[in-house]
Structure 1
């Protein structure tokens, strides 16, 4: 935009922040500081979409005091923009790493002009959370984009600095802006804007100081990408892949795997599972022991030690088919992971148990910064469906209610608005405690019998396939990945799993059957409506059915 005084232009700042992070307060501080220094300043905001699909964009323009007289007949005040223009933003402040990436994508942050100040923490977007597979955006790629897409990048975990000071991220980001030295104001002028606001001044100044110091340090660099191995390192936590590609992550996991394999395995499962731990250490391949121990702990917590014995018996069927037990033992390792995940399917009993765990409530207190002795309330929003209720009931009763149109209508009417349970109240905690104590009744429930039959049928197919095609058997075991969540999500996953298992029988007669099934599994995880999987199944229908020599 052309200046009202030749040779002068406004300072443009875009702030991308989510609700509750003080983005508006940060914009107000900047405007107040500019006006105090004689600048003409204004800030506007464009609200983002709810549920973390986009942050609110706060936009600040500050026009410096004129150096000379305005042109004859010109305006006495400049006309400032109300929204950032791509390619015309001097400073971008992002409260989260993905928002920094979005600023670059939208053209607000450019390498020829923009100083990018971003917090490196992650708050996962809804699109990342609802993905059937691992939908997380690679933080390493976001860091690479931040360095490439900005003239200067200042990054650190400003959220952690704010929490350390019992403040909000806006204060630490304001300190980062001051420490960047890109604005013509002193540190004292920044701090005066905070003091003049009169709200939470001490904690805000403490977070400001930490942010100021962090801005003086070099920004984090992307982790160099190592050459990808043929297989991933053995994961150290059931149900979760390694979160990064760095060599440090792989090295740490490999070291832990070796430590578990060469020391007493019982320390990972507790005193109640010593017999199972000894069995893991003597009957199973070394590469799979870390995963097996975690599977033992998980199944015992979910049900009881006898259920853990059943888990080990199932994995042992596939361990017996390992061609090289001293090697990678991929089939046993994947079975150890996925059998445990399936056997610990999510039902109302398990949900209730997780809600009232002491460690979980302690974690909530720590996250909320509750002081010792300070009262805290935790409210859970629950929306039970008819299937979740009938699946928990004894088989006959559950099957009868599931087939009753009247009961379905009644439950739908009673639960259509959901329910809120105060986990920390006597009534709410007791309700969930009673539900969690129903674990001994789980083996008699409708869903338990159905799940056990499905697990055995799945393993029977993997065992029958392993003799002829080891790699295909591994892929069959990994198909359990599509079984996730509960309600409609689990229903869609079950439909996709059924199609994958049916396709495995067809693919057994094709060359490269294992890679083909892996592609179908990836397609099943690509979307919830199954369109990608359907397209993948259609693509293999006309392939030859004779396996190559």
Structure 2
């Protein structure tokens, strides 16, 4: 708990019972909630008010926000005010939430009331553990939160304050302070807010920029629309990629494929060039071209080439599988180091260390080896067990140290040998079997064949995650013989896929498969 009280020690000891102005700030670790609360108190004291701030930390960074509570009163005859230590439901004038779902939680706690509360919230999301652990889409519906806040608050100011802060090179506390100033909820001029920021002495100019931008947004465009589902945007096919090999891929997409799939093919080609090389992206176009020919021969044009569109998406996903080489490559990229430094606000003269938590298994090691060697180790259980005892353990890897950086860099350099690894061989075999299943279904049930392609969404990640995804994928496709001759077969396969994404253990999928068996 932090306390800031401005009281003249020589003043008479008599308590004032005037109603204080109450502000609650809900913020997670790293969002500067404490800084924001201190700014508010400092500004109030500079304006001759008495103020106090207290804080109650959440359970963890993403399972509960810290609540900073501020009360303030104008100084009156030197009387010390009576301040509360915690917000009282129904008695808070301003609630500030540094993330959208925290705004919803403030409503559930009763801190937001329609007769008096101004709610200031950032509409960006920092996903909770419960949202991330769901195999499918476990993200909470932001529209429900907005509907609740519209009903609960007297006035709402809500826009993406995180993005605005990043755009101006600052942190969200600065933009939230600007939104508070722009709301007019406090009886202080803009100059008082800015003077408080300048008195901080750190990152003043970026903070002032973020403050000013948020101040203007709060006054001119105080609300951002939110959507239950994020807008998916695919880049249009450019005229040139600036490299001969890449331009050849673009020319082929433009001339050999219908316009309906251009954007998706471009996204897939970019992904696979980044994953391997332009030649690998060319192999991807070869596969999709074969599937397009089958699509055309089965009246796919009348259906908007739905089969080819799904193939363009999920063949790229299948070819860009997550292996040890890919993980190592992503860990040592310069862009990642720059992103982390920016996220933590490191100065140019500061050194940032990142600790990766890794738990490799012998299965991943064998998959990274040449096919024959990997198979030989797997086929000799004693050798496999001997090596697994030395490999299969948790490690904390500091990628900023020379030893670990070089180790991961050397693993990432194995990209040129990826096509000869055991993992690549198995991924390609699995992909060919999957595509064969879809193409054999295509003449008999176009929509069902298209859903078979979309079922590839279940296969993702590596290690245990990859194994569970493969298991669910196989179980979903095991229902094909029961759905093949049904007009609603595609709908049922889609339901099975959605059930598989509901929980990690596949309990919902087991129930859905039993339902299909009764059809």
TM-score by length of 2: 0.84
In structure 1, which of residues 42, 46, 50 is the aligned counterpart of residue 60 of structure 2? 50
Q: Distance in 1 between matches of 2:153 and 2:65?
A: 20
Of residues 177-186 and 329-338 in structure 1, the stretch that sits farther from structure 2 once superposed is: 177-186
The question of whether the paired residues in 1 share the 8 Å contact of 2:142 and 2:226 is answered with no
Q: Distance in 2 between matches of 1:297 and 1:174?
A: 40
Q: 1:163 to 1:474 in 2, by over 3 A?
A: closer
Does residue 25 of structure 2 align to residue 15 of structure 1? yes
Does residue 462 of structure 2 align to residue 486 of structure 1? yes
Q: How does 1:395-474 map to 2 (within 5 A)?
A: 395-402=371-378, 404=381, 407-408=384-385, 411=388, 416-423=393-400, 426-474=402-450
Of residues 391-400 and 270-279 in structure 1, the stretch that sits farther from structure 2 once superposed is: 270-279
Q: Distance in 2 between matches of 1:142 and 1:222?
A: 12
In structure 2, which of residues 339, 351, 356 is the aligned counterpart of residue 381 of structure 1? 356
Does residue 329 of structure 2 align to residue 319 of structure 1? no
Q: CA deviation at 1:97?
A: 2.3
Equivalent position of 1:103 in the other structure? 106
In structure 1, which of residues 302, 323, 334 is the aligned counterpart of residue 275 of structure 2? 302
Does residue 221 of structure 2 align to residue 218 of structure 1? yes
The question of whether the paired residues in 1 share the 8 Å contact of 2:95 and 2:119 is answered with yes
Q: 1:175 to 1:407 in 2, by over 3 A?
A: same
Q: Distance in 2 between matches of 1:39 and 1:274?
A: 66
1:86-119 Cα offsets, whole Å, 9 max, x none, are 3332211111223223222333223332101122
Q: CA deviation at 1:144?
A: 4.7
Q: Distance in 2 between matches of 1:524 and 1:131?
A: 10
The question of whether the paired residues in 2 share the 8 Å contact of 1:338 and 1:478 is answered with yes
Q: 1:60 to 1:330 in 2, by over 3 A?
A: same
Q: Distance in 2 between matches of 1:43 and 1:405?
A: 63
Equivalent position of 1:73 in the other structure? none
The question of whether the paired residues in 2 share the 8 Å contact of 1:385 and 1:412 is answered with no
Between Structure 1 and Structure 2, how many residues are aligned? Answer: 500
Q: How does 1:177-192 map to 2 (within 5 A)?
A: 177-191=180-194
| Other structure's SS at 1:222 match | coil
Q: Distance in 2 between matches of 1:194 and 1:357?
A: 35
Q: Distance in 2 between matches of 1:273 and 1:172?
A: 41
| Other structure's SS at 2:230 match | coil
The question of whether the paired residues in 1 share the 8 Å contact of 2:116 and 2:154 is answered with yes
Equivalent position of 2:119 in the other structure? 116
In structure 1, which of residues 77, 85, 88 is the aligned counterpart of residue 88 of structure 2? 85
Q: Distance in 1 between matches of 2:48 and 2:345?
A: 40
Q: 1:510 to 1:217 in 2, by over 3 A?
A: same
| Other structure's SS at 1:88 match | coil
The question of whether the paired residues in 2 share the 8 Å contact of 1:42 and 1:61 is answered with yes
Of residues 530-539 and 273-282 in structure 1, the stretch that sits farther from structure 2 once superposed is: 273-282
The question of whether the paired residues in 1 share the 8 Å contact of 2:361 and 2:392 is answered with yes
Q: CA deviation at 1:121?
A: 3.0
| Other structure's SS at 1:59 match | strand
Q: Unaligned regions of 5+ residues in structure 2, if any?
A: 1-14
Q: 1:36 to 1:376 in 2, by over 3 A?
A: closer
Q: Distance in 1 between matches of 2:472 and 2:119?
A: 43
Q: Unaligned regions of 5+ residues in structure 1, if any?
A: 70-75, 226-241, 544-549
Q: CA deviation at 1:333?
A: 0.7
In structure 2, which of residues 45, 66, 71 is the aligned counterpart of residue 61 of structure 1? 71
Q: Distance in 1 between matches of 2:225 and 2:351?
A: 40
Q: 1:524 to 1:181 in 2, by over 3 A?
A: same
Q: CA deviation at 1:395?
A: 2.6
Q: Distance in 2 between matches of 1:405 and 1:41?
A: 70
Equivalent position of 1:31 in the other structure? 41
Equivalent position of 2:128 in the other structure? 125
| Other structure's SS at 2:478 match | helix
Q: Distance in 2 between matches of 1:84 and 1:503?
A: 55
Q: Distance in 2 between matches of 1:184 and 1:523?
A: 53
Does residue 266 of structure 2 align to residue 293 of structure 1? yes
TM-score by length of 1: 0.80
| Other structure's SS at 1:177 match | helix
Q: 1:110 to 1:537 in 2, by over 3 A?
A: farther
Q: CA deviation at 1:281?
A: 3.5
Of residues 530-539 and 308-317 in structure 1, the stretch that sits farther from structure 2 once superposed is: 308-317
The question of whether the paired residues in 2 share the 8 Å contact of 1:386 and 1:411 is answered with yes
1:307-349 Cα offsets, whole Å, 9 max, x none, are 3343233323431232143751110011111011111101011
Q: CA deviation at 1:294?
A: 2.9
Equivalent position of 2:315 in the other structure? 339
Q: Distance in 2 between matches of 1:63 and 1:413?
A: 65
The question of whether the paired residues in 1 share the 8 Å contact of 2:16 and 2:81 is answered with no
Q: Distance in 1 between matches of 2:267 and 2:199?
A: 54
Q: CA deviation at 1:524?
A: 0.9
Q: 1:379 to 1:30 in 2, by over 3 A?
A: closer
Q: Distance in 2 between matches of 1:209 and 1:303?
A: 44
Q: 1:172 to 1:275 in 2, by over 3 A?
A: closer
Q: Distance in 1 between matches of 2:482 and 2:203?
A: 66
Equivalent position of 1:168 in the other structure? 171
Q: Distance in 1 between matches of 2:193 and 2:270?
A: 53
Q: CA deviation at 1:200?
A: 5.7
Q: Distance in 1 between matches of 2:89 and 2:394?
A: 43
Q: 1:167 to 1:285 in 2, by over 3 A?
A: closer
Q: Distance in 2 between matches of 1:205 and 1:362?
A: 23
Q: Distance in 1 between matches of 2:92 and 2:386?
A: 56
| Other structure's SS at 1:117 match | strand
The question of whether the paired residues in 1 share the 8 Å contact of 2:361 and 2:391 is answered with no
Of residues 108-117 and 305-314 in structure 1, the stretch that sits farther from structure 2 once superposed is: 305-314
Equivalent position of 1:239 in the other structure? none
Equivalent position of 2:501 in the other structure? 525
